[in-house]
Amino acid sequence: MSSLLTNSTAMTALQTLRSVSSQLSTTQTRISTGQRVSTASDNAAYWSIATSMRSDNAALSAVSDSLGLSAATVDTQYTALTSTIGDKDSGLTKLQSLLVEAKTAGIDRTKIQADITQIQLQMKSTANAATFNGINWLSTTATTPATFSLVSSYSRVGSTPTTGSITVTTANYSLYTSTQSGILDTQTAGVSVDNMSISALTDSAADQTTLDGYIAQVTAAINSVASAAANLGAVKNRISTNTNFVKSLMDSVDRGVGQLVDADMNQESTRLAALQVQQQLGVQALSIANNSSQSILSLFR
């Protein structure tokens, strides 16, 4: 039956064209954004998960930056400690050998003291220079915090976030302090590695015993500084391991989010081509349906 009031063929063609246009719009949005789920209306569950994971990744990025800062701080202190230990030409190692040399009968201890003084000044200068971002664990003052927390990790279980840290105790690494309680300025009978002097000593038995005490004091300082350097080396390795893990974790989260919300561009490009053809056919079908009503006029001629 032909009707002037109802063109069911045109209505069907129009409905099909609307459906194709809607799908085409969705496909074009996915191609332009690169995402299959870009808003909550696309898929509320996946969008919510992706949003939370992106937030976690931002926190992990901050942890990575913090680990970089911590690594630089620890490396600065570690370098200064190893420099303080020195070798046969510098630092505590050289100081120890000079004191052993000073036990030689008839030697000019005043000249040896000149070398000792320069080593003492150099070690103190090294400790003072071991500063990164205003932090120095080797030469401390009354305002230096007793501990430092180095952020090392971030995790979230449900809605509860957890931040991990590495705690560093300043006293374990202090070479010099404002209260003279560091490894090198702690005094024994009024003498420390920082202020010991042998220029007035002689070959007497008492002075030889004094030299033995100085040598023992320097040896103990070498052991203490070496222990502090080994501890910092372990912290340095832990930070390096955590840094690599955090970066790998961030990549893993990115991949997981991508699997949830990223569009398959091969699939979308194929769908786009098909929908464009369907849209053209829909327009043509609607045009034919509308023109069919014109044939009714011929009945009245």
Q: Which residue has the higher pLDDT, 153 or 172?
A: 172
For 29, other C-beta atoms within 10 Å of its C-beta total 16
**pLDDT 10s digits, 48-87:** 888 888 888 888 888 888 899 999 999 999 999 999 999 9
Q: With beta carbons less than 8 A apart as the criterion, state whether 193 and 42 touch.
A: no
DSSP the chain: ---SS--HHHHHHHHHHHHHHHHHHHHHHHHHHSBS--STTT-HHHHHHHHHHHHHHHHHHHHHHHHHHHHHHHHHHHHHHHHHH-BTTBHHHHHHHHHHHTTSTT--HHHHHHHHHHHHHHHHHHHHH--BTTB-SSEE-TTS-SEEEEEEEEEEETTEEEEEEEEEEGGGT-SEETTS-STTT--BTTB-TTT---TT--SSHHHHHHHHHHHHHHHHHHHHHHHHHHHHHHHHHHHHHHHHHHHHHHHHHHHHHHHHHB--HHHHHHHHHHHHHHHHHHHHHHHHHHHHGGGGGGGG-
Burial class (CB in 10 A: 0-12, 13-18, 19+), 93: middle
How does residue 4 score in pLDDT terms, banded at 50, 70 and 90? low
The arithmetic mean of pLDDT across residues 102-110, rounded, is 92
**What mean pLDDT comes out for the span 102-116?**
93
pLDDT at 53: 87
| 6-30 residue pLDDT tens | 667 777 878 888 888 888 887 887 8
Q: What is the mean pLDDT of residues 211-234?
A: 95
Helix 205-261 crosses helix 91-101 at what angle (to 10 degrees)?
Answer: 170
- Whether 290 has a pLDDT exceeding 80, the answer reads no
Mean per-residue pLDDT, 151-156:
80
In the block, residue with structure tokens 């302090």: 177
Greater pLDDT, 270 or 229: 229
What is the overall mean pLDDT for the chain? Answer: 87
Residue 98 has pLDDT above 90, yes or no: yes
Residues 155-208: pLDDT tens digits?
Answer: 777 777 788 888 999 999 999 999 999 999 999 889 999 999 999 999 999 999
Task: Write out pLDDT tens, residues 236-255.
Answer: 999 998 889 888 988 988 89
Percentage of the chain surpassing pLDDT 90?
A: 48
Residue type, 51: T
Residue percentage of the chain with pLDDT more than 70: 94
Phi, psi of 206 (to 5 degrees): -65, -45
- Please give the pLDDT value at position 299: 65
Q: Which domains does the chain have, with CATH numbers?
A: 44-259 (1.20.1330.10)
